[in-house]
Amino acid sequence: MDITRRAATIGGLSLLATTAGATISRAELGSFLGIGEGLEDFLLATDAYIFGYPLVTMEMTRRVFTNVPKVEATRGPMGQIVKVRSYPNASYRDVTAPNADTLYTTGFFDVGKEPWVLSIPDMKGRYFLLPMLDGWTDVFQVPGKRTTGTGAQTYAITGPGWKGSLPAGVKEYKSPTNIVWLLGRIYCTGTPEDYAEVHKLQDEFKLVPLSSYGKPYTPPEHTVDASIDMKTAVREQVNRMDAVAYFKLLSELMKTNPPAAADAGQIAKFAKIGIVPGQDFDPSKLKADFLKRVPEVSFDRIMLQFKVNKDMKDENGWGYTTKGGVYGTEYLFRALCCAVGLGMNRPQDAIYPISQKDVDGKAYSGTNKYVMRLAKGQLPPAQGFWSLTMYDKNYFFVENPINRYSISARQTLKPNPDGSVDLFLQKDSPGKDKESNWLPAPAGDFILMLRMYWPQERTPSIINGSWKIPPVKKV
C-alpha cells in the first residue's frame, strides 16, 4: 500500500494523538479528521487494529499456506512439514520479503488438543535455525546451530494449558498460543550438489502428534476450502478487510490464542468498542461512520514507524533494528515487523537492514545505476551468512534474466585492485566481466535488504555499532 501525503498526515496525527507529549490537541485532531464525539473510539479502534495485526496476518497466512490437499512446493496442510527444495522465485507471494539464501523447512500446527513432537536429524555442522513463532509472531524458541548445536535433537511443542509427561529424551517447548509456525531455514549454496545434501537432511525431519510419537504415522487427508483466496498476497487480503470483519476475526482468534499477561492493560481498553478476549466481537459498541477509515489510517501508522520508532536506526540510507522477534508491549513495532517481514528472527539470529533510498535520500529506480562498495576486509560480519536481496516496491522478488534475487559471497565476488568489492545494482548487465557482482533491479522502484544471519557480536559488529553499513550511491 502506497502512503499518500494525505494518508501519511492522518497517520502521523493519529500517532501524535496517542503519544505522550503530543503537541496537537484532541480537539484540533478531531477537527482535522472531521470527527467529533467519536474521536476517542476512532483512536481506540486504530489501537486495536494495530494490536491485532500480527495475529490476523498470521491466521490469514496459515489459511493460504495450509489450504492444499498435500504438501506441494512451498505449501502444505496443517501438521505437515514443507520441505522447500529450491529457492523461491519471482512468482512467490506467500510471505513478504522472502529469503533466497536458505531452503525453508516449515509448517503450521495446532497444539490446542495435544503436543506435537519435532525430530531434528544430525545436521553435520551445517548452519540452520528453526524459529518457532506463536500466533502473535513472537519467536518463543529457536533451536539451531547458534543455540543448540547441530547434533540430533527432539522437542515436544506443548500448548499454553498442557500438563503431562514426555518420553525420555524429548525436551518441552511451551507455546503461548495454540497456533505455531515452524519457520526453519537451512543454509544452501544453491548448487545441484548442495541442494542434494540439504534434501537428504530435510527428509529426516519428522513432525507428529505426541500420541503417535514412536509409532507409524500417516497424516490425515486435508480438504481444500474453495472460498480461500489463494492468489492475492496475504498482506493485501488483510489490508482490504473492513473493520467489522477484521475485529470479528481478531476476537475469534483470541479465544485460542490469548494475549500475553503483559497485554492486560491494553486489552482492557478495547472492551469499550466490543473487543474482549474469549468473546465474540460486539459491533453494536462501535457504531461509527468512520469505520471504513480505520484500516487505512491504522496501516499508515504502522508504516510510519520506519521514521519515528526509537528502535529503528538510520545509517547511510539503511534502516534497521537490533530488536525483533520478541516484542513485549511494543505493538506498533510488532505490527511493522509483521507488515514488512513476517517471520522476523531474534536479533542474535538475524538482522535485516532495509534501504528504500540511496545515500542522497532519493528513492531507488531501475532507470538509474547504483554501486555499493564494501571496503577491503569489510564484508558484512556474520557467523552464519550474509546476503543483499533485491525487492520490488511491495517487498517481492524481481524477475530478471539471470534469476538472481540476492547476492552474497557465494557468487565468488570479484574484488577491485585495492581489495574492495563493488556490488552493481541496476536493471541491465554491467558487462560479462562484472556479472558476478551484479544484483538485477526492476524497471521501476525497488527496495534493498541486507541479511546478516548470526551477526558477529565482537568487533566489528553491527550489533554494537562498530561495523557500519556502506552507502549505496547513484552512478
Q: In DSSP terms, which residues pair with 157 in a beta bridge?
A: 116, 173
Strands (E), 211-306: none
CA contacts within 13 A on the Cβ side of 418 = 7
CA dihedral 265, 46, 134, 73 (to 10 degrees): 180
Q: What is the pLDDT of residues 127-175, one digit of tens each?
A: 999 999 999 999 999 999 999 999 999 999 999 999 999 999 999 999 9
Q: Using an 8 Å Cβ cutoff, are 319 and 333 in contact?
A: no
- Asked which of 258-262, 293-297, 326-330, 450-454 is least confident by mean pLDDT, the reply is 293-297
Q: How many residues does the chain have?
A: 475
Q: What is the DSSP letter of 67?
A: -
Residue reference for cell 538475524: 350
pLDDT of residue 32: 62
Q: Is 227 helix (H, G, I), strand (E, B) or coil?
A: coil
> What's the one-letter identity of residue 459?
T
What is the mean predicted confidence (pLDDT) over 31-59?
87
Q: Using an 8 Å Cβ cutoff, are 395 and 97 in contact?
A: yes
Residue 62 has pLDDT above 50, yes or no: yes
Helix (H), strand (E) at residue 42: helix 39-66
Instruction: Tell me the C-alpha to C-alpha distance, in Å, between residue 63 and each of 56, 77, 234, 378.
Output: 11, 9, 10, 43
CA dihedral 22, 26, 27, 32 (to 10 degrees): 80
- Asked which of 87-101, 329-343, 386-400, 415-429 is least confident by mean pLDDT, the reply is 87-101
Q: Which domains does the chain have, with CATH numbers?
A: 5-59+242-301 (no CATH), 97-212 (2.60.40.1610), 313-474 (2.60.120.600)
Q: What is the pLDDT of residues 395-408, one digit of tens each?
A: 899 999 999 999 99
